[in-house]
Amino acid sequence: MDNKALLKANKAKNDEFYTRLSDIEKELAHYKAQFMGKVICCGCDDYKKSNFYKFYTQNFNALGIKRVVCSGVENASTMKGSYVEFDGKNETIIEDCDGTFQTNIPKVVEKYGAENVVVVTNPPFSLFRELIAILDKYSVKFIILGNGNAITYKEVFHLIKDDKIRLGYKSLTSRAWYVVPNGNKFEK
């Protein structure tokens, strides 16, 4: 997806782009040691649609994770959504609740401790800066698969410069595809 298309989507707040499972598998294969014994928080993900949630529930034992927490907004006008915790066997699901990462990431960090949580998600592009600010404020480790243009944001660039965050294994020049709710695919 070129910059013009991203700007148009951002302006319209039409930034629901879902990461394909194959792209998640390729990148997250490099982080198994970082997931061991951790609570994985997919803070921008509706568990019914999220390939991140699917990846972690399918690979729960192989990754040695403690718990998967997933929350996401289903209704943008009310900010209502879902919150689910998976312990390897059982799901505890709360529907029609505040599904925002602004509420749920701090809640997960408070419940489990920042040192025990890794946030892994693909946030809405228009809220990327806000998510980074929350992760930095709570000193939470994270992996974000998303728009490569985000490295130029002043809120992100200084974190790269200060060696607080690093780019992943996948090259920024390689192609990734996102899927939008209506089923269209858009190139990175």
Q: What is the chain's Cα-based Rg?
A: 16
141 sits in the region (left: phi over 0; alpha: psi -120 to 50; else beta) called beta
Q: What are phi and psi of 30, to 5 degrees?
A: -85, -5
Structure confidence at residue 158 (pLDDT): 86
DSSP conformation class of 66: S
Kindly report the pTM of this predicted structure: 0.84
Q: How far apart are CA 112 and CA 150, in angstroms?
A: 28
Alpha carbon dihedral 24, 117, 89, 121, in 10-degree steps, equals -30
Q: Tell me, what's the pLDDT at 1?
A: 44
Cα–Cα distance list, 1 to 54, 116, 170, 176 (Å) = 25, 35, 17, 9
pLDDT tens for the chain, residues 1 to 188:
444 554 554 454 556 677 889 889 988 999 999 999 999 999 999 999 999 999 999 999 999 999 999 999 988 888 899 999 999 999 999 999 999 999 999 999 999 999 999 999 988 888 889 999 999 999 999 998 877 778 888 888 888 888 888 888 765 555 555 555 555 554 44
Question: Tokens 């992996």 appear where?
Answer: 143
pLDDT of the residue at 118: 97
Q: Give CA separation, 158 vs 9, 130, 148, in Å.
A: 25, 15, 15
pLDDT value, residue 171: 54
* CA distances, 40 to each of 43, 52, 135, 154 (Å): 9, 10, 14, 27
Beta bridge partners of 73: 81
At 113 the pLDDT is 98
CA-to-CA distance for 125 and 7, rounded, in angstroms? 10
Q: Which tokens in the block code for residue 148?
A: 């490569």
